[in-house]
């Protein structure tokens, strides 16, 4: 577990995204911050932008099968990520294309923004090689901000219903639970970066919140 911030912002999930294979992180992150993230998550760091933006966590996501990025990404960025991760990189087409914000996924499934087109859903399926379902979570359509999934568990918006938790457990094949970040923030994806090995959370996250995260994502034996 690591508490951290980017330039004073506890919303670290906006600027970084982890899988079990890599950490995508904003290029201008300080060396010690980048190194501490990579050490906690036990994966190599890939400093990058997506579409020229530092909001890498909002614009990219992935699993063991591939990395999905916004269609705003340019060819140089895509090549950099492919070379660094040795994974295929797919683009999310359409108007709703902030991949990190609108896709919640692990190696078993993906839950996506309800307004994604058939073409966009196909892009998710093709890149991540998992079943895909559309929907919202606790009334939030940007499901990648409302939940964080790993291959151990999924942490969800605190107003998620039992029916929604059950649905996500079936789709993602992991236990689901409720939680918050940064002293009550419900959009857990904006302040939490996690994989099977560990997690980094915004520096304003409280002790009880850390306990919920550790339990939900399966770090406690």
pLDDT reported for residue 113: 98
Region 129-143: what's the mean pLDDT? 98
pLDDT reported for residue 220: 82
Helix (H, G, I), strand (E, B) or coil at 8: coil
- Is the pLDDT assigned to residue 11 strictly greater than 80? yes
111: β partners: 104, 133
pLDDT reported for residue 186: 98
- Is the pLDDT assigned to residue 221 strictly greater than 80? no
- Report d(CA 13, CA 204) in Å as an integer: 13
Place of tokens 């291959």: 151
């Amino acid at each position: 577990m690591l508490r951290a911030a980017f330039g004073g912002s506890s919303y670290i999930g906006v600027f970084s995204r982890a899988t079990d294979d890599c950490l995508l992180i904003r290029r201008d992150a300080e060396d010690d911050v980048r190194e501490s993230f990579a050490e906690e998550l036990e994966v190599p760091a890939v400093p990058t932008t997506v579409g020229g933006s530092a909001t890498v966590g909002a614009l990219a996501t992935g699993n063991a099968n591939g990395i999905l990025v916004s269609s705003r990404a340019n060819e140089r960025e895509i090549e950099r990520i492919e070379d660094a991760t040795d994974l295929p990189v797919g683009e999310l087409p359409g108007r709703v294309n902030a991949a990190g914000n609108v896709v919640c996924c692990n190696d078993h499934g993906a839950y996506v923004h309800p307004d994604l087109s058939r073409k966009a859903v196909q892009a998710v399926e093709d890149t991540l090689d998992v079943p895909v379902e559309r929907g919202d979570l606790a009334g939030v359509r940007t499901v990648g901000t409302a939940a964080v999934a790993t291959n151990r568990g999924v942490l969800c918006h605190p107003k998620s219903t039992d029916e929604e938790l059950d649905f996500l457990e079936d789709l993602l094949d992991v236990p689901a639970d409720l939680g918050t970040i940064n002293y009550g923030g419900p959009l857990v994806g904006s302040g939490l970066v996690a994989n099977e090995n560990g997690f980094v959370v915004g520096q304003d996250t409280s002790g009880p919140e850390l306990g919920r995260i550790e339990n939900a994502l399966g770090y406690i034996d």
